[in-house]
Amino acid sequence: MTSPPPALHWLNIAARLHPDRLAIVAGDVELSYAQLHSLVAQRAKHLAAMDIRSGSRVAIIAENSVGWLLAAHAILMTGATLVPLHHLATAEDLRTQLSIVPVDLIIRDASANIPSELGASELTLEHLNDAASSCIAGPSGDALPSIGETSTADSDDTLVVLFTSGTTGTPRAVPLSAANIHASAMASAERLGLENDDRWLCCLPLCHMGGLATMLRSLIYATTLELAEHTDMGTIATLVSTRPITLLSLVPTQVHRLLTAHSTPLPTSLRAVLVGGGPVDAHDLRAARKIGLPLLPTYGMSEAASQITTLPLDAPLDMLESSGSPLPGTELRITLDDGSTAAPGQPGAIKVRGPTLTRGYLNKNADALYDNEGWMRTGDVGHLDERGFLYIHHRASERIVSGGENIDPTEVERALRAHPHVTDLAVFALDHPEWGQQLCCALVLSSLPASQKDDQLATLAEFSDTKLLQSLNEHCRTRLAPFKIPRRWFLTDAIPRTPSQKVRRHRLAELATRVGQ
């Protein structure tokens, strides 16, 4: 197989082949590939003057913006490694992450709260923009300048380092090469198709795989990335119904909020809406299809450069609750505790193998990711059906064992989401002297106003509405085995989640232990 070109040349290639094609759209800003190249080259020259080159690491700590995209492209053009960090990360988060992956430069929003002792040079986005204040009329044809032409970077060098969500402990640093990213992009294009007029709407954080993948794939394909200036569901619905958006990536929480706000058909140009980052409620999947949103459940992770499986566009509706089949080039295997391969329908540990996978975590003393045959342990449990479609059960680390019974928290959550008074919820466990773990549920009810507060401020209160408790238990009894019905119920105004919208179950357990103190 021919190796892909190094990432520092990706923008050069796109600008040479398609100089007039739209590269970035954000509100009223529209940049062609020639214009984008001109802006990025100026920024890359400034970074090169700061001795940023192949082998350097540069962090970006900023909100989604055109400036973020320009800075990221400039980092790639120098041959350096991009380390995107969340703009809402606490000072302690940043200390932890940058102790695992030290960087040479931090590019940040002016308002970012950066600890003073990190030991890296800093540059604000505003300063970088001022340093590259030339006009945006870009050169064309062979006159395009190329930063890093003498670089020794190749497609196996680390292109980006991402941090996993860290829902249960220290975040893990995931290095991905240009070859990983390129293989993922090509496999996704084979599954979803690729059109010259494709436009991918980004409304996920660019510091996470789901958001960053839209930028990198659009660059590799030389198609258009549209950056949502606001990510509320009203804005997203307006964009997909008024702009020629063909591709969209969402997390399940966004799908649920979109359907809460829109129950009538949306006229769009969408041909695929990828939904990942957690289990999607079956009711939401069907409701989305009814209003014309072509939702495609997908299973992926940062360690695999995004998608591992995705539902094919032509899959029958009875496959909608699956996560689809493996992307081309990716192998999937389900194994039992004794290491044998599970039969169709039999749950077990999900393992994956293929060209999109990271070489391993950068953390010191990190557990090995791969077995002797090159299969990566995902830490998830699921099964394959007879057609090779994957069904996710739960994270192995999230399995709850109560009274000797194994409980999948996502199964309980799916059952409770159908209750008419439940707006949001999460199932978790507390240690219990008799049962080992006691199954608990935190609820956001429709009668309470939705909260957008920081999850660190979320509180829990023991549930005492006898009539509603009876309704919830009756609802569960018709859908779940008795041992899967929560024993304690809590009210909250916000379910604590990571920036990528994964439930922080350990945070709920911490809050629950304080109730009544």
Structural domains of the chain ordered from first start: 7-384 (3.40.50.12780), 399-514 (3.30.300.30)
pLDDT one-digit tens code per residue, 455-495: 444 678 888 788 999 999 999 998 888 889 999 999 998 89
Half-sphere exposure of 228 (CA within 13 A, CB side): 27
pLDDT one-digit tens code per residue, 352-400: 999 999 999 999 988 889 999 999 999 888 999 999 999 988 776 777 8
pLDDT attached to residue 448: 53
**Residue tagged 């032409």 (tokens):** 149
Burial of 319 (0-12, 13-18, 19+ CB in 10 A): middle
pLDDT at residue 454 above 50?
no
pLDDT at residue 167 above 70?
no
Whole-number Å distance between alpha carbons of 447 and 471? 15
DSSP per position, 126-178: HHHHHHT-S-S----GGG---TTTT----TTSEEEEEE---SSSS--EEEEEH
Per cent of the chain over pLDDT 70 is: 91
The helix/strand/coil state of 30 is strand
CB 331 within 8 A of CB 352: yes
The mean pLDDT value for 206-227 works out to: 96
The separation between CA 469 and the C-alpha centre of its own chain, rounded to angstroms, equals 35
Q: What is the mean pLDDT of the chain?
A: 88
Residue 25 pairs in a beta bridge with: 30, 226
Q: Residue 433 — pLDDT band, cuts 50, 70, 90?
A: confident
Whole-number Å distance between alpha carbons of 190 and 185? 9
Q: Residue 145 — pLDDT band, cuts 50, 70, 90?
A: very low
CB 158 within 8 A of CB 21: no
Phi, psi of 423 (to 5 degrees): -95, -40
